[in-house]
Amino acid sequence: MIIDFHQAQLQKFMALAMKIEAEPELYLQFESVADFYKADWLQAFPSGTEYFASGLDDGAEEFYALICYGEMQLRISCVQEQFSAKLCCKH
d(CA 15, CA 4): 16
pTM for the predicted model, two decimal places: 0.86
* Domain region containing 75: 2-89
If DSSP codes are grouped into helix, strand and coil, which group holds residue 25? Answer: helix
How many domains does the chain fold into?
1
| Helical H segments across the chain, by residue range | 2-22, 33-38, 40-43
Instruction: Kindly state the DSSP code that residue 46 receives in the 8-state scheme.
Output: P
Per-residue pLDDT tens for 34-86? 888 999 999 999 999 999 998 877 666 788 999 999 999 999 998 888 889 99
